[in-house]
Chains A and B, each alone.
Chain A
Amino acid sequence: EPEVTQTPSHQVTQMGQEVILRCVPISNHLYFYWYRQILGQKVEFLVSFYNNEISEKSEIFDDQFSVERPDGSNFTLKIRSTKLEDSAMYFCASSGGYNYGYTFGSGTRLTVV
């Protein structure tokens, strides 16, 4: 069964450093997403991406965050200057279209120290 692959599974970074979280969506999917789950809290939507541009973003997704699909297969989330409150599990997801359901990756646990 096709999978969404995320790397790394864990990342520890110093406050103020830049991090890039990587995702390989399912190859024939067109819609890509990032969600995050702060420990003990709900899974929250960050951003959706379609046709090489952001289609929707939440208020969490401020100027510190960016996404890109650099080579047609990878889908990355960059946090420019990490803060302690960015510590969370970050999930990538992809979808073939509305109502198809989303396939999630296993997540990257980001710890900012």
Chain B
Amino acid sequence: AQSVTQLDSHVSVSEGTPVLLRCNYSSSYSPSLFWYVQHPNKGLQLLLKYTSAATLVKGINGFEAEFKKSETSFHLTKPSAHMSDAAEYFCVVMGGNKLVFGAGTILRVKS
């Protein structure tokens, strides 16, 4: 069965510094992977998706993620954090015709 593990429940960065949110996946076949973001009291917004095309995927708001099969990882990065990036981020894998969510990483951005 497909699953994802988000390695950090909380990440704290200073505004203007890089962001790294880590995700490892487990899949018996080539996975479809997603990152979603949830701002407080808001819905789930798709940041980016990997569907076996380019291994470096660019998303919205300056985020990107790199699919590394050898490491079974799909880490989310951003060169420079902004206060508005503070939210909860979910790494997600497609399992059959449904999404399987990681536990989430809460990103805190300090001014």
Q: Which residues of A contact B (CB under 8 A)?
A: 4, 6, 31, 33, 35, 42-45, 48, 55-56, 91, 93, 98-99, 101-107
B residues in contact (CB < 8 Å) with A:
32, 34, 36, 42-46, 49, 51, 90, 94, 96-104
- Is there an interface contact between A103 and B46, defined as CB atoms closer than 8 Å? yes
Our pick among B36, B100, B103 for the contact of A45 (Cβ within 8 Å) is B100
Q: Which residues of A contact B46 (CB under 8 A)?
A: 101-104
Q: Are B96 and A56 in contact (CB under 8 A)?
A: yes
> Are B99 and A99 closer than 8 Å at their CB atoms?
no
CA of A12 to CA of B43 in the docked complex: distance in angstroms? 19
Q: Find B99's partner among A4, A6, A45 (CB 8 Å cutoff).
A: A45
Contact A48 B44 (CB under 8 A): no
- Decide: A33 near B45, CB < 8 A? Known: A99-B51, A101-B34: no
B107 to chain A, nearest CB (A): 17
Contacts A42-B103, A42-B104, A99-B51 known; A33 to B98 CB distance under 8 Å?
yes
Distance of A4 Cα from B44 Cα, bound (Å): 11
Q: How far is the CA of A43 from the CA of B36 in the complex (A)?
A: 11
**Contact (A104, B45) CB under 8 Å given A42-B102, A42-B104, A43-B90:** yes
- On chain A, the residues within 8 Å of B34 by CB distance are 101
The closest CB in chain B to the CB of A6 belongs to B43
